[in-house]
Structure 1
């Protein structure tokens, strides 16, 4: 026998898939829906959690529950730290950035090969399709190696572009580590996804010709919103090219 919250989720899902409730529509308040279905708000929230887990509904803090618009898939181009401009343009992404100065500690200090407490420029980028978060990036540059000068302390601005990296001209080598994992609580909250939804996490480390790390980027994409493309270039020796 199905539980009450699953019955409610199925009814709301039917209304959404048949177009009775349209993409972008705000659902009635949780209290109002609980009265409508004659259940407690806890049961109603369990039903909404089912729809959130299926990607049909998203909860926007301070605004309510909305039927999620279908988010287009984009392509991440490995080795360049960018999104494919064609798929990014189709998804009509816009990006908000926040720049701060922090100190390196723990795993971040290890990745950047700097002592704990070293000053870093942190660029927090969140891409949106409409009002829905699409992906998250945290980019770190040692302050002394930032070739473009200070990006600004505690400033906020918006931009529209496909890059998820600063990638200075000093970069000679880029190493990317890709993994699929559950989101952290902060990532789930920022991206408005269910904590059980798998994300594609990419750690990019760029170094210069001297082996100094000039940039680290921590990228997070919900697994159903991105494809990663990585191209390998083979170097042929002289015998093969002359054959």
Structure 2
């Protein structure tokens, strides 16, 4: 009796979990035809099984590489610790803090960068205290790990805060030594407090394409507002994170 795709997915899942197919930087499943020959099924059955594993976040089909096994555990996405002044004042940007906390390598080129002057939409305008349609700088980044996108983050700034600074330089990578928070500090707008909100939803077609998401994987949407000691908003950011590629970690004292 021929094995079905669900049973086949269970076998492949077990092999991933027991290390038969290693979860390292180069780990992949055997080629579809090799699996079809081993289990005496057609390639269509292999594809169906792989799609199940994709939906679980265990593998990703990457063009010209094959079926890549995702590294586990997911990368830690730190809470307050990722924004510690002791990090960015000495050159460690937030996404790199996450990588180091997870024991992962990183390079400035892991982050792309697109900067442009746009009109503030209602949400951005309300956050920055500007009229709708007022000019703001939009700084959009796509962050990758080993070539695979992990999240997209877009920050918005008032032009009078960042004009002529590294924050409006479109070069790939962080905005200079220490990233955007270091730049704002030099400008006299040192970040002092951050409010973040999170919610999960299914991705839009554009988000799924940009983050190379398998069918069925949700995203975690982040909104971040950064203020100075006197309460002035100096950055509003929106992020979209692949849900299975992060473990969100928070460490805090319990309020009285």
TM-score normalised by the chain length of structure 1: 0.70
Q: What's 2:104 paired with?
A: 92
In structure 1, runs of 5+ residues without a counterpart are 236-243
Return the alpha-carbon distance in structure 1 between the equivalents of residues 193 and 98 of structure 2: 26
* Higher strand fraction (1 or 2): 1
In structure 2, runs of 5+ residues without a counterpart are 84-93
Q: What's 1:239 paired with?
A: none
Within the candidate set 69, 73, 76, 1:74 is matched to 76
Moved more, 193-202 or 78-87: 78-87
Shift of 1:163: 6.8
Q: What's 2:8 paired with?
A: 8
Return the alpha-carbon distance in structure 2 between the equivalents of residues 110 and 195 of structure 1: 34
Task: Indicate if the aligned counterparts of 2:142 and 2:152 stay in contact, CA closer than 8 A.
Answer: yes
Q: What's 1:122 paired with?
A: 139
TM-score normalised by the chain length of structure 2: 0.67
* Higher helix fraction (1 or 2): 2
Shift of 1:203: 0.8
Query: What secondary structure is seen at the aligned counterpart in 2 of 1:92?
Result: coil
Task: Indicate if the aligned counterparts of 2:202 and 2:217 stay in contact, CA closer than 8 A.
Answer: yes
RMSD of aligned alpha carbons: 4.1
Shift of 1:104: 3.2
Shift of 1:12: 2.1
Return the alpha-carbon distance in structure 2 between the equivalents of residues 56 and 174 of structure 1: 33
1:103 paired to 2:115? no
Distance 1:136 1:143, change over 3 A: same
Within the candidate set 41, 56, 76, 1:38 is matched to 41
Query: What secondary structure is seen at the aligned counterpart in 2 of 1:20?
Result: coil
Task: Indicate if the aligned counterparts of 2:220 and 2:241 stay in contact, CA closer than 8 A.
Answer: yes
Deviations 1:193-229 (A, max 9, x none): 4453444432111245776532112234444522242
Task: Indicate if the aligned counterparts of 2:119 and 2:134 stay in contact, CA closer than 8 A.
Answer: yes
